[in-house]
A = this chain, B = another copy of it.
Amino acid sequence: MAKHDPTLDHVFTALGDPTRRAILTRLADGPKSVSDLAAPFDMALPSLMGHLKKLEAAGLIVSEKSGRVRSCALRPAAFAPAMDWLEAQRALWAGRLDRLDALVMTLADTKDD
Q: How many copies does the complex hold?
A: 2
**Given known A-B contacts A16-B16, A40-B1, A96-B30, A79 and B89 have beta carbons under 8 A apart:** yes
What is the distance, in angstroms, from A98's C-beta to the closest C-beta of chain B? 13
Most chain B CB within a 10 A radius of its CB, from A15, A30, A83, A86: A15
Closest partner residue, chain B, to A6 (CB atom): B18
A25/B2 in contact, CB under 8 A: yes
In Å, the complex CA distance between A92 and B89 comes to 24
Of B13, B30, B82, the contact of A86 (CB 8 Å cutoff): B82
In Å, the complex CA distance between A96 and B76 comes to 12
A21 proximal to B (CB < 8 A) = yes
Of B22, B92, B96, the contact of A2 (CB 8 Å cutoff): B22
A89/B40 in contact, CB under 8 A: no
Q: Find chain B residues with CB under 8 A from A16 CB.
A: 8-16
B86/A79 in contact, CB under 8 A: yes
